[in-house]
Structure 1
Amino acid sequence: MILMLCGTSDARELALHLSRQGLPVQASVVTPSAAERLEAAGISARTGRLDMQAMISLLQEGGYRAVVDGSHPFALEAHANAIGAAAALGLPYFRYERQSLIYDSHPRLILADSYEAAARRAKELKGPVMLTTGGKTLEIFAEALLGDPDIRLTVRLLPCVENMEKCLALGIEQRNIIALQGPFSREMNEALYRQYDTKVMITKESGAEGSVDEKLQAALDMGLYVIMIVRPGMSFGDDGTVFDSFDELTAAVQAALRNSR
């Protein structure tokens, strides 16, 4: 059995691809809705975050033979836990990550190497800011931007109880919360930018299969500033390889399983 961390839409497609090649896959996801989508497609899924010790216990008890890490490029803690758990048990570890896009230079596209740097740039630019980086690092932006009379912070995030409670605890007013599940079309992005009179949009680089393209291009075409947090510069995998091809990763997993018999 292979344990696969699924944190993106294309990671879920990879889980299906592995299963179609005859590889037994158990997916690990954070939310019940993600688990439901996988199970509807025939992939067994467990729900909830795992620290390293919990992952080691799960791998031991389930008799897993490999770990495939398809979590989000920014989920550094999940990556570290998966790498550490696999290493502790001597299991092969494989990292899948969608290809990074190459963005042309644009006078209103600002690249930031951290959430903190993105918050600082937004504070300098002023005006209505739409934050689309999720709830996990919300406090960084709330601390930097809330209370500035020249900034209106609107947050767009998943409509889960945890996010709503966090927004209210940080002092983000309900009128400035957009609780919706994507992906969003270009037209939807444009409508939201207009509705909230957005001048600055903050996003994360997620890659070719994510919705960042529509979000980013619509914003730039409308004359918004876009602050994009670039991916952490890290390598994963037993040999430092990050796979961006379903077929290549599948072949590597199959070879590792054959060699471990």
Structure 2
Amino acid sequence: MILFLAGTSDARELAVQIQTSGFPLLATVVTENGAKELRQAGVEVQVGRLSDQEIASLVKEKGFHLVVDASHPFAEEASKNAKSGASIAGVPYIRYEREQLDYENELVIKVDSYEEAAEAAAEKGGVVFLATGSKTLEIFAAKLLPLPDIRLIARMLPRLDNMEKCEKLGIPQKNIVAIQGPFTKEFNTALFRQYGVTVMISKESGKEGSVDEKLDAAIDLGIQTIMIGRPKIQYGTVYSSFGNIIEHIRNLLVPIK
């Protein structure tokens, strides 16, 4: 049995492929929406965030032989907990990490943190399109909302808690784009034009995260992009392809026919 952290749509696809290959697993997800997709595919799911001690306890309780971490590239805490939990429980840990895309363009500014991104946007001014979700919204709201020469447009999932957060932070409804992706280049282009965007902030989440669709649209329109680099984590054993992950599992475990 495998304990599998499924943080993205491609991770959920990987979970299904692993189970289809004869390796039963329990997938952990943060949201009920992600759980629903996996249950429909016949994968056992547990909803909720887990500390490293909770992961270790779960591994021992259920008799898992391996931890596969396919959490989001920016879910730094989840990856650290998964790696630590596996170590505490004494089982192997492997990481599925989306391939990184190389963005070399004069319109792209690369930074290492949300705080640096907010600082860079503050210096640019204009209409800032925030495509980093709601989790770190406070950082950008605190830095950018007080500035008179900046209009902050925030795109996020259409969830009640996100709308409540925007209200609490003082982001007006007219500046909220509540919609679920993925988004095409054409859609992003239309959105950027609609709001007159001059600066776009994004995380480097890889092609699977549709970063290229956002970036290509921004570059074509001459929009300055601030790209936040991924957390620097020493994962150890890490792969960027489903095939390599499943091959590694086959070398560790015997499939169940």
Same fold by TM-score, threshold 0.5 exceeded? yes
Provide the rounded CA distance (Å) in 1 between the counterparts of 2:84 and 2:232: 18
Task: Give yes or no for the alignment of 1:253 onto 2:249.
Answer: yes
SS of corresponding position for 1:209: helix
SS of corresponding position for 2:250: helix
Partner of 2:13: 13
SS of corresponding position for 2:99: coil
Cα contact 2:57–2:89 (8 A) shared by 1: no
Provide the rounded CA distance (Å) in 2 between the counterparts of 1:134 and 1:58: 30
Task: Give yes or no for the alignment of 1:154 onto 2:150.
Answer: no
**Deviation at residue 182 of structure 1 after TM alignment:** 0.4
Cα contact 2:27–2:46 (8 A) shared by 1: yes
**Deviation at residue 123 of structure 1 after TM alignment:** 0.3
Partner of 1:183: 182
Deviations 1:73-100 (A, max 9, x none): 1111001110111111101111000111
Task: Give yes or no for the alignment of 1:74 onto 2:70.
Answer: no
Task: Give yes or no for the alignment of 1:221 onto 2:220.
Answer: yes
**Deviation at residue 57 of structure 1 after TM alignment:** 2.7
Amino acid at match of 1:162: D
Unaligned runs of 5+ in 1: none
Provide the rounded CA distance (Å) in 1 between the counterparts of 2:185 and 2:204: 17
Give aligned-pair identity as a percent: 54
Deviations 1:116-161 (A, max 9, x none): 1110000000001110111111111011101111000011011122
Q: CA RMSD in A?
A: 1.3
Provide the rounded CA distance (Å) in 2 between the counterparts of 1:50 and 1:177: 31
Provide the rounded CA distance (Å) in 1 between the counterparts of 2:232 and 2:53: 25
SS of corresponding position for 1:42: coil
SS of corresponding position for 1:128: strand
Q: TM-score, normalised by structure 1?
A: 0.93
Return 244-253 or 91-100, whichever deviates more.
Answer: 244-253
Unaligned runs of 5+ in 2: none
Q: TM-score, normalised by structure 2?
A: 0.95
Residues 1-261 of structure 1: pairs in structure 2 closer than 5 A: 1-104=1-104, 106-236=105-235, 240-257=236-253
Q: Give the 3 Å change call, closer, same or farther, for CA 56–160 of structure 1 in structure 2.
A: farther
Give the number of equivalent residue pairs.
254
